[in-house]
Amino acid sequence: MSTCLSEVQENISISVVIISCERPDYLKLAVHSVLRQIHQPAEIIIIDDCSKANYQSTLQSFSDERIIYHRSEQRCGANSSRNKGIELSSGKVLAFLDDDDIWNETFLKQHYTEYLNNAEAVLCGYSVLGNPSKQQINLQIKVTEDELRKGNTFCGMSGFSALRDILLEIQFDNNLNNGQDWDLFVRITQQKRRFVNIPMPLFQYRKDLADGITSKAKTMTFTDSRIRLASAYKHREWLGESNFRQRVADQLLSFIVKKQNKLQWLFASIKLAGFLATFIALKKKLVNSS
């Protein structure tokens, strides 16, 4: 299970894994952001999750032999797509990019530097695409279990990289439709890996897509809410009851300002998480929306 760090330092090749589904135009921008990197990757693996959209014109616009395109024969979801990318990759380090996000040109250089300093997994901050002054940056240098018990205060998958041998062992959980990034980060920290954070906005996150996680959360029904809570229930013992209740309340009250039937969501949170966790989560949501 241990990684030979001296070997990694001598040959740190980076594979980029981009997952895409029905968004060839966004994919084109994402790939361009990889090709503009100051530190270039060894390969760019595109996993198309059985899209009906035509990707040929996008793929033909690139004449780079490092690009590997794989189309799944059936729709399998983001986690399976990322796991397929891990399987097909050959780099010492894997860096992930969602098709709707864009890397800043120093992204791979900054991550690469951390691996030279013996990192085994890396996160970074981001800015919102089209609104660069709006940023999410965690100032912690080390990704810790205590910080992750508060939730994912770092970033999503477009800011994540890790040694390939870790990801072959700790793969993405195909049973989770939400919180899969947080779940993976938790399992990496549980193994006491050297997991570091770069407190800089190194990629641009595309917010409020019609088919994105944010939009789905806004329209989520009570029946679907259990799916959103699956990662919390998976790690309930590790979280501890107080942190578990807070995560449940935070998840249930996501985008509460824009939801219909607000009182029903509040009552559901009180029932599952308790009054205190619900009050804290509601206060936080209202402050963030103002």
**Claim to verify: residue 162 and residue 86 sit in the same structural domain:** yes
Q: Which of 205, 232, 265 is the last residue of a domain?
A: 205
Q: How far is residue 38's CA from residue 16's CA, in Å, rounded to a whole number?
A: 14
H-helix segments, 154-203: 164-169, 180-190
**What is the token pair recorded at 14?**
């980076």
Query: Do 195 and 268 have their domain in common?
Result: no
Q: Which of 158, 178, 205 is the last residue of a domain?
A: 205
Tell me: do 31 and 110 sit in the same domain.
yes
CATH assignment of the domain containing 96: 3.90.550.10
- Strands 14-20 and 93-98, by their bridges, are parallel
Please indicate, yes or no, whether residues 196 and 223 belong to a single structural domain of this protein. Answer: no
Q: Are residues 108 and 218 in the same domain?
A: no
Cα(38)–Cα(30) distance, integer angstroms: 15
> What is the DSSP-derived secondary structure letter of residue 207?
P
Q: What integer pLDDT is reported at residue 221 of this predicted model? A: 72
Q: How far apart are CA 83 and CA 173, in angstroms?
A: 9
| 132 and 27 together in one domain | yes
Q: What angle do CA 270, 276, 282 make, to 5 degrees?
A: 75
Residue-level pLDDT at 214 = 55
Residues 160 and 284 in one domain: no
88 in the same domain as 16? yes
Whole-structure pTM value: 0.91
Range of the domain at 22: 5-205
- Distance, CA of 130 to CA of 204 (rounded, Å): 8
> Are residue 194 and residue 285 in the same domain, yes or no?
no
What are the pLDDT tens digits along the chain (290 aa)?
444 444 444 579 999 999 999 999 999 999 999 999 999 999 999 999 999 999 999 999 999 999 999 999 999 999 999 999 999 999 999 999 999 999 999 999 999 999 999 999 999 999 999 999 999 999 999 999 999 999 999 999 999 999 999 999 999 999 998 899 999 999 999 999 999 999 999 999 998 765 555 556 666 676 677 788 999 999 999 999 999 999 999 999 988 887 778 898 899 999 999 999 999 999 987 777 65
Give me the number of domains the chain comprises.
Answer: 2
Q: Do 99 and 147 belong to one domain?
A: yes
Asked if residue 282 and residue 141 are part of one domain, the reply reads no
End-of-domain residue from the set 188, 205, 222 = 205
Q: How far is CA 152 from the centre of its chain?
A: 9
Helix (H, G, I), strand (E, B) or coil at 254: coil
**Strand 14-20, strand 43-48: pairing:** parallel
- Tell me: do 142 and 285 sit in the same domain: no
